[in-house]
């Protein structure tokens, strides 16, 4: 696996996947599909890590890519929080009763 990650992974495909996963994460979150959006954020992050392992992203580009993943992560975390808040945080209520 390491040999693939560092030497043989298809850089063009990984850049394409990163962009596709980013777009899909945004689309899913806009549709209110938080957990599938989260899965796309994880795939986006993994694509970034593979690109970084290959040395395909320059130092200046690296900060921008990290910012893009961070923005997606923040968006999905906020959407998840909002969805749980709308339900009245049911798990928190269950914990309060058991304490």
Predicted model pTM = 0.86
User: CA 7 to CA 62: how far, in whole Å?
Assistant: 19
Q: Tokens for 62? A: 């690296």
What's the domain count of the chain?
A: 1
Place of tokens 């690296």: 62
Average pLDDT over residues 39-55: 97
CATH code for position 56: 1.20.58.180
- Provide the residue range defining the domain that includes 88: 2-98
Q: How many residues does the chain have?
A: 99
End-to-end CA distance of the chain: 46
Residue 88 Rama label (left phi>0; alpha psi -120 to 50; beta): left
pLDDT band of 1, cuts 50, 70, 90: confident
Token duo for residue 35? 């957990």
């Amino acid at each position: 696996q390491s040999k693939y990650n560092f030497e043989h992974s298809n850089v063009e495909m990984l850049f394409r996947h990163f962009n596709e996963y980013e777009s899909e994460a945004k689309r899913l979150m806009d549709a209110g599909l938080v957990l599938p959006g989260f899965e796309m954020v994880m795939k986006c992050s993994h694509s970034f890590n593979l690109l970084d392992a290959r040395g395909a992203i320059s130092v200046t580009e690296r900060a921008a890519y990290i910012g893009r993943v961070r923005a997606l992560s923040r968006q999905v975390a906020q959407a998840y929080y909002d969805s749980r808040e709308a339900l009245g945080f049911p798990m928190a209520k269950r914990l309060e009763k058991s304490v």
